[in-house]
C-alpha cells in the first residue's frame, strides 16, 4: 500500500506525523483519500520522503489536506514535488461544475413556462419561415439566376428515386392487406366482388397518398432536419451567409420544390402498386382474372378520386419539406439538439399531413366534389 | 538517450485510395521529451497522430507505444488509452456536456472516485489550463475557440497521462494565451515527467519548449533534431520554414529571451527535476 499511518503525536499540540510512501497517483487516489481522511484530527505532518511517484491528483490530495487542516506541513518533499504542490495550489480556485441547480418546484414551473413560450415562438418562427420561403422562391424565380434546378434534381433523386423500392413494397403489401380484409368482411354479404371497389377507391383517394406521405416524412423530413442541423452546428450556415449565399435559397427552396413535385408522382406510383397487390390477391384468392379486375377498377374508380389524391399530394410534400428544413434551422449548440429536432421534424410532419388530410376531406365534401 | 523510446514508429505506410500520405516513415519519441512535429499543411501530421493512437489503421509498418504494438490486433487500445491524453485539432469536446463534465468523462470511465473529489479534480484542471471558474459549467457551444482548446486540454490531462498528444494546440490562441500555454506544457513536463508529441505551426512554441523537432516532408520524417541543428540542414523546405521571415523573427525573440536570462529549452530538466518517471506505471 502507498501509505502507512504512524501516529507519533503525543497530544501536546504537535502535528501527527504521517509518512506517505510509494506512488501518490490517480490510480491510488481513492485509497489515499480514505487514508488521509482517517488520520487523527488536528494538524498533520506529512512525510513525503518515501514518495516514488506523484501526479497532480496525488498533489491535490496533499494540498487539500494542508489547506483544510491549518498548521499541517510537509517534510522531505523533493524539489519536483514542491513545485507540483505549488502548481496545484495555484490552480485551487472556485469553479462551477454544473449550471446552477434550482429547486425542483421552480424547475417544473420554469419548464412549463418555457414549453408555452417555446410553442408560441416556434409557431411564430414557423409562420415566418413559410413566408420567407415563399418570398425567396418568388425572388429567385424572378431574378436572373433563377431556381437552383441542379440541387432540385439532386433532392428529387434522394427523396423520390431512392424511395421507389420501399414505397413500392409498402404499397404492394397494403394493397394485399386491404383486399384480404375486404374480401373476408364482404364475403359475409356475398358481396366479394365489391372488394375491387374498396381497393380502387381507398388507394387512389386516400391511402396511396397518405401512406406515401408518412413514409416520405419518415425518410426525408428526418434527413432534411439532420443535414441542415449538422450544417448549422458546423457554422456552415453562417459561412454561407458571409459568402453572400442565402441558406433558405440554397438549402430550403430546392428541397421544398423537390418534395412538392415528387410526392404526387410517388403517391400515384404507390396507388398503382397497391392496386396491383390487391389485384394479385383477387386473382389468387377470389379467382377474378386480371383483365376483369382492370375492367372493374376502370368502372368503379371515378376520375375525381384520382384528382383529389393528386391535389392533396403537393401540399403534403411541401409541408413535410418545410417542417424538416425548419426544424433543421432550429438546431443550436449540441449534437443532442440535432437528434431532438430530427425527431420533432418526423412527428410534426406526420401530424401535419394527417391534419391536412382531414381538412381536405371536409373541404372536398363541402364543395361537393366527391 | 539509452532509455527505450515511448513511441517508436517503423516503416509506416498510410494510403487513402491512390494518395500515399506516408511511405516508410520512422520516428522515435524519447521519455520525458517534448517532440515538436512540423510539416506543411496536408503533409500527414494529423494522420501520423491518428495512426499512433490507433484510430487509423496503417497499410504497413509497426508502431509501438509504451512497448506495446498498437498495430497488432491483440493490442488493448482501451488500456493504453488510460495512459495517454489526446488534444484533437478541432477540440472534439462532447457538445452535450459542460466543460467540467467533459473533463470528468475519462475519470468516470476508468476510476471509481467519490463525486466531490471528481468535482475538485475537474475544478483544478480547469484552473490549470487557464480557464476562469465560470467556464466549468458552460457548454462547449458557449465558449470561444481558444477557450474550447483549453477545455480540450483539460480533458486530455484528466487522467494525468504519461504521454500527451497535442494537435496544433496554440492555433487560434492569442499570443499571450499561446505563451501561457507553452509555459503550462513546460511546467507539466518538468513536474510530472510528461512525454509530449506536439504538432504545431507555432515557431515560438517550437523554439521555446521543444527539445527536438521532427520535420515531416516527402512522405517521411525528413529530419529530427534541435531547432539549431535543423536550421543548418540544407533542404529548401526546412530552410524556408526556419529561416523565412517568421522563422527569423521567432529566433530573434528567442535569442532576446535567453539574453534576458529566462530559461529556454531546458533540455535535461524532465528527468532530473521530477521524481516522477514517464511511462513508469
Ligand atoms: N479520412 C481521410 N480520407 C482521405 N484522405 C485523407 C483523410 N485524412 C487525411 N487525408 C489526406 O491525408 C493528407 C494528410 O492529412 P493531415 O494529416 O490531416 O494533414 P496535416 O499535416 O495538415 O495535419 C491530406 O492530403 C489529406 O487530404
Ligand atoms: Mg492536421
Cell numbers found for residue B202 = 507555432
Please state the separation of Cα A137 from the chain's center in Å. Answer: 27
Identify which of A55, A79, A91 has the shortest CB distance to residue B160: A55
Q: Each residue of B187-207: b (16+ CB within 10 Å) or e?
A: bbbbbbbbbbbbbbbbbbbbb
pLDDT mean by block of 10 residues, chain B; 281 residues: 82 92 92 91 91 90 90 81 86 87 88 89 90 90 86 90 89 80 83 87 85 90 87 82 77 76 45 37 34
Q: Which of A91, A119, A150 is the last residue of a domain?
A: A91
Residues in A touching B136 (Cβ below 8 Å)? 95-97
Cα of B36 to ligand 2 centre, how many Å?
A: 13
Q: List, in sequence order, the alpha helices (H) in A160-302.
A: 164-187, 195-202, 208-216, 222-233, 236-243, 247, 253-286, 290-300
Residues A238, A336, single domain; the answer is: yes
Pick from A157, A154, A136: nearest CA to A145: A136
CATH number at residue A31: 3.30.750.24
Query: What was the ipTM of the complex prediction?
Result: 0.75
Q: CB A98 to CB B192 under 8 A? A: no
Residue A84 domain-assigned (yes or no): yes
> What is the reported pTM?
0.73
Backbone φ and ψ of B120, nearest 5°: -65, -40
Atom of ligand 1 at shortest distance to CA of B48?
A: 17
Indicate whether residue B21 lines ligand 1 (CB < 6 A).
yes
A307 with A182, same domain? yes
Grid cell 480540450 is found at: B152
Distance, CA B40 to ligand 2 centroid (Å)? 9
Cα(A151) to ligand 1 centroid in Å equals: 28
User: Does A29 fall in a domain?
Assistant: yes
**A270 and A182, same structural domain?**
yes
Record: contact A87-B191, CB cut-off 8 A: yes
Q: Is residue A297 part of a domain?
A: yes
Task: Give kind and range of the element (H or E) at residue A147.
Answer: none
Q: Give the pLDDT score at A13.
A: 61
For residues A85 and A132, membership in a common domain is answered with no
Residue A108 covered by a domain: no
Task: State whether residue A95 sits within 8 Å of chain B by CB.
Answer: yes
The DSSP annotation for A280-324 comes to HHHHHHH---HHHHHHHHHHHS-HHHHHHHHHHHHHHHHHHHHHH
Q: According to the model, what pLDDT value does residue B272 have?
A: 37
Residues A154 and A58 in one domain: no
Please give the full DSSP string across A7-46, using - where no structure is assigned: ----SSSPPEEEEEEEEESGGGHHHHHHHHHHSPSS-EEE
* Under 8 Å between Cβ of B84 and B197: no
- Which residues on adjacent β-strands are paired with residue B69? B64
- A329: which DSSP letter? H
Number of folded domains in chain A? 2
The domains found in chain B, sorted by start residue, are: 1-83+163-272 (3.40.50.300), 90-160 (no CATH)
Same domain, A187 and A306: yes
A209 has pLDDT over 50: yes
Is A336 within 8 Å of chain B by CB?
yes
Q: What is the dihedral of CA A289, A290, A295, A301, to 10 degrees?
A: 110
- Say if residue A134 is in the same domain as residue A87: no
- Check if B37 has its Cβ closer than 6 Å to any atom of ligand 1: no
Is A304 domain-assigned? yes
Kindly report each contact of residues B108-112 with a partner whose C-beta sits within 8 Å and lies 24 or more positions away, as own/partner. B110/B82, B110/B159, B111/A26, B111/A27, B111/A29, B111/A30, B112/A30
Q: Are the beta carbons of B127 and A95 separated by less than 8 Å? A: yes
Quick one: A340 and A294 in the same domain?
A: yes
Q: Which residues of A touch B142 (CB under 8 A)?
A: 333
Does residue A9 belong to any structural domain of this protein? yes
- Identify whether residues A70 and A131 lie together within a single domain: no
Residue A248 belongs to domain spanning: 127-366
Quick one: pLDDT band at residue A3, thresholds 50, 70, 90?
Answer: very low
Q: Which of B16, B22, B57 to mutate to test the pocket of ligand 1 (most atoms within 8 A of CB)?
A: B16
DSSP state of A224: H
More confident residue, A281 or B244: A281
Amino acid at each position: 500500500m502507498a501509505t502507512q499511518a504512524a501516529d507519533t503525536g503525543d497530544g501536546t499540540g504537535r502535528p501527527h506525523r504521517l509518512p506517505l510512501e510509494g506512488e501518490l497517483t490517480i490510480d491510488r487516489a481513492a485509497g489515499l483519500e480514505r487514508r488521509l481522511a482517517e488520520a487523527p484530527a488536528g494538524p498533520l505532518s506529512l512525510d513525503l520522503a518515501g514518495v516514488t511517484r506523484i501526479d497532480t491528483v496525488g498533489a491535490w490530495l496533499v494540498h487539500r489536506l494542508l489547506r483544510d487542516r491549518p498548521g499541517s506541513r510537509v517534510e522531505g518533499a523533493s524539489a519536483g514535488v514542491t513545485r507540483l504542490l505549488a502548481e496545484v495550489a495555484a490552480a485551487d480556485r472556485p469553479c462551477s461544475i454544473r449550471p446552477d441547480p434550482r429547486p425542483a418546484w421552480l424547475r417544473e414551473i420554469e419548464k412549463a413556462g418555457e414549453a408555452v413560450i417555446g410553442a408560441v415562438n416556434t409557431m411564430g418562427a414557423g409562420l415566418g419561415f413559410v413566408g420567407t420561403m415563399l418570398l425567396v422562391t418568388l425572388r429567385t424565380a424572378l431574378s436572373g439566376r433563377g431556381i437552383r434546378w441542379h440541387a432540385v434534381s439532386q433532392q428529387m433523386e434522394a427523396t423520390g428515386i431512392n424511395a421507389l423500392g420501399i414505397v413500392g413494397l409498402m404499397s404492394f403489401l397494403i394493397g394485399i392487406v386491404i383486399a384480404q380484409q375486404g374480401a373476408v368482411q364482404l364475403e359475409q354479404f356475398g358481396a366479394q366482388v365489391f372488394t375491387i371497389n374498396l381497393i380502387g377507391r381507398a388507394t387512389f383517394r386516400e391511402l396511396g397518398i397518405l401512406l406515401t406521405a408518412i413514409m416520405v416524412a419518415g425518410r426525408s423530413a428526418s434527413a432534411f432536419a439532420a443535414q441542415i442541423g449538422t450544417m448549422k452546428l458546423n457554422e456552415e450556415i453562417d459561412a454561407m451567409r458571409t459568402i453572400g449565399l442565402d441558406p433558405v435559397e440554397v438549402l430550403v427552396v430546392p428541397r421544398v420544390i423537390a418534395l412538392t413535385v415528387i410526392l404526387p408522382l410517388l403517391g400515384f406510383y404507390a396507388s398503382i402498386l397497391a392496386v396491383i397487390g390487391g389485384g394479385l390477391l383477387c386473382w389468387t384468392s377470389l379467382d377474378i382474372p386480371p383483365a376483369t379486375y382492370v375492367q372493374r377498377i376502370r368502372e368503379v374508380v371515378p376520375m375525381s378520386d384520382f384528382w383529389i389524391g393528386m391535389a392533396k399530394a403537393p401540399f403534403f410534400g411541401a409541408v413535410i419539406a418545410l417542417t424538416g428544413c425548419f426544424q433543421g434551422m432550429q438546431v443550436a449548440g449540441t449534437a443532442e439538439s440535432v437528434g431532438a429536432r430530427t425527431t420533432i421534424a418526423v412527428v410534426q410532419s406526420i401530424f401535419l399531413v394527417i391534419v391536412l388530410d382531414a381538412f381536405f376531406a371536409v373541404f372536398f365534401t363541402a364543395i361537393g366534389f366527391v | 538517450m539509452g532509455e527505450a523510446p515511448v513511441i517508436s514508429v517503423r516503416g509506416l505506410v498510410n494510403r487513402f485510395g491512390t494518395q500515399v500520405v506516408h511511405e516508410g516513415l520512422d520516428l522515435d519519441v524519447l521519455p520525458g521529451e517534448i517532440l515538436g512535429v512540423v510539416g506543411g499543411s496536408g503533409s500527414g501530421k494529423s494522420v501520423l497522430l491518428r495512426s499512433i493512437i490507433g484510430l487509423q489503421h496503417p497499410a504497413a509498418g509497426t508502431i509501438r507505444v509504451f512497448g506495446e504494438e498498437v498495430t497488432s490486433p491483440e493490442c488493448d487500445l482501451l488500456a493504453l488509452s488510460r495512459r495517454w491524453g489526446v488534444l484533437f485539432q478541432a477540440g472534439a469536446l462532447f457538445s452535450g456536456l459542460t466543460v467540467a463534465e467533459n473533463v470528468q468523462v475519462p475519470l468516470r470511465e476508468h476510476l471509481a472516485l467519490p463525486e466531490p473529489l471528481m468535482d475538485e479534480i475537474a475544478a483544478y484542471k480547469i484552473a490549470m489550463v487557464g480557464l476562469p471558474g465560470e467556464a466549468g459549467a458552460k457548454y462547449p457551444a458557449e465558449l470561444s475557440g481558444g477557450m474550447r482548446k483549453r477545455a480540450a486540454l483539460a480533458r486530455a490531462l484528466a487522467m494525468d497521462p504519461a504521454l500527451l498528444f497535442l494537435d496544433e494546440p496554440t492555433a487560434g490562441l492569442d499570443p499571450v494565451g499561446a505563451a501561457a500555454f507553452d509555459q503550462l506544457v513546460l511546467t507539466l513536463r518538468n513536474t510530472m515527467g510528461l512525454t509530449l508529441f506536439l504538432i504545431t505551426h507555432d515557431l515560438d512554441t517550437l523554439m521555446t519548449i521543444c527539445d527536438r523537432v521532427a520535420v515531416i516532408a516527402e512522405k517521411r520524417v525528413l529530419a529530427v533534431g534541435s531547432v539549431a541543428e535543423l536550421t543548418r540542414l540544407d533542404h529548401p523546405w526546412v530552410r524556408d520554414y526556419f529561416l523565412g521571415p517568421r522563422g527569423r523573427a521567432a529566433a530573434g525573440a528567442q535569442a532576446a529571451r535567453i539574453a534576458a536570462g529566462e530559461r529556454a529549452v531546458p533540455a535535461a530538466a524532465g528527468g532530473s527535476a521530477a521524481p516522477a518517471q514517464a511511462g513508469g506505471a
